[in-house]
Amino acid sequence: MRHWAQDVLFTRRGLIACAAGLVVARASHAGLTPTPPQTPGPFYPRVKPSDSDADLTRIANGQGVAAGEVIEISGRALSVKGDTLEGAVVEIWQADVNGRYIDPRDNAGATPRDRNFQGYGVVRTRADGSFRFRTIRPAPYDTGVGLRTPHIHFRVVHGTRGELVTQMYFPGDPRNDQDFLYRELGSRLVRDAATAELQTGGNVAIYVFDMVLA
């Protein structure tokens, strides 16, 4: 079950959505809608890879390029008042094109990991609060307790604004409404706050995901 049974019990399935709704209700009056918190999942890497830069499609001294559709993620870290958060630490981790994480605890099935995929990256936001990653669109997978639609995990830490752990979803993916964690986000307002926007044009799809720390 890829440890998801434990993870679902930890989140108490619905507690996160309820908390996210309360955060939005309270903070949206101050300005921007806060990005809802979500579980980090069972595969936040206990040991960070030696190569953990912003380009997850290549590994230092690797033998090739990660399989899958290459995408870019750009965004900003913001306060609910719209202030940009400079120097925030932004981490991402995700499944590869086979639906596998780099964490050794992900030992589901016989599907191999993509050895050319970095799986985890970390950057600091610039003066304007911006960040950028190059990665691949992750595959969906079955947790044993439900489907996970394609998503990317985020963790943002800022000295005065605290910490946000959330997940980014892809706009228009029909599997979103089948995902038990996506459904628990509740209202469309909260779901939209956890969903990236596709920027059209160019050879590589760019997904814009601004994160608002409550």
Mean residue pLDDT of the chain comes to 88
Please answer whether residues 193 and 27 qualify as being in contact, where contact means their C-beta atoms are separated by less than 8 angstroms.
no
Give the model confidence (pLDDT) of 96-144 as tens digits.
999 999 999 998 666 899 999 999 999 999 999 999 999 999 999 999 8
17 pLDDT more than 50: no
- Where are the chain's structural domains? 4-213
Residue range 72-96: mean pLDDT, rounded? 97
Residue 14 has what pLDDT? 40
Tell me if 158 sits within 8 A of 87, measured CB to CB: yes
Tokens read off for 62: 């690797």
What architecture does CATH give domain 4-213?
A: Sandwich (2.60)
Instruction: Work out the angle at residue 187's Cα, subtended by the Cα atoms of residues 181 and 191, and round it to the nearest 5 degrees.
Output: 55
pTM for the full predicted model: 0.88
Task: Give Cα separations from 162 to 17, 89, 151, 156, 213 (angstroms).
Answer: 20, 11, 23, 8, 8
Whole-angstrom distance, CA of residue 130 vs CA of residue 74: 7
Task: Please give the average per-residue pLDDT across 28-34, as a whole number.
Answer: 73
